[in-house]
């Protein structure tokens, strides 16, 4: 899979849908509309050639493919978040790194 033509923000949507099990609630968490979440899910489904989440009376239930993906996706998102927060805390006045 070539990442250069993929929208990596879709993994954030995937993670929130997995947690919330509801597209409307996922949109609220993400600050986007339910149709935008639905569109993102459609793109994810196309990218992975799987339904990923199936609508039931108990909410959006992850498929086995989604269940296999969630651990790695969350780990990758955590690494990215940690990298961003570390770079946000860089202070050139107190840094002990020489350039």
pLDDT (tens place) for every residue of the chain, 99 residues total:
677 788 999 999 999 999 999 999 999 999 999 999 999 999 999 999 999 999 999 999 999 999 999 999 999 999 999 888 766 566 667 767 666
Q: Under 8 Å CB-to-CB from 37, ≥6 apart: which residues?
A: 13, 17, 23, 24, 26, 27, 30
Nearby residues of 21 by Cβ (< 8 Å), 6 or more positions away:
53, 58, 59, 60, 61
pTM score > 0.95 for this model? no
Q: Which domains does the chain have, with CATH numbers?
A: 7-83 (1.10.10.10)
């Amino acid at each position: 899979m070539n990442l250069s033509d993929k929208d990596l923000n879709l993994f954030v949507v995937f993670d929130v849908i997995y947690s919330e099990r509801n597209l409307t609630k996922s949109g609220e968490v993400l600050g986007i509309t339910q149709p935008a979440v639905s569109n993102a899910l459609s793109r994810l489904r196309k990218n992975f050639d799987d339904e990923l989440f199936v609508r039931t009376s108990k909410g959006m239930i992850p498929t086995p493919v989604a269940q296999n993906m969630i651990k790695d996706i969350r780990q990758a998102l955590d690494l990215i978040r940690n990298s961003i927060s570390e770079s946000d805390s860089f202070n050139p006045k107190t840094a002990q790194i020489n350039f």
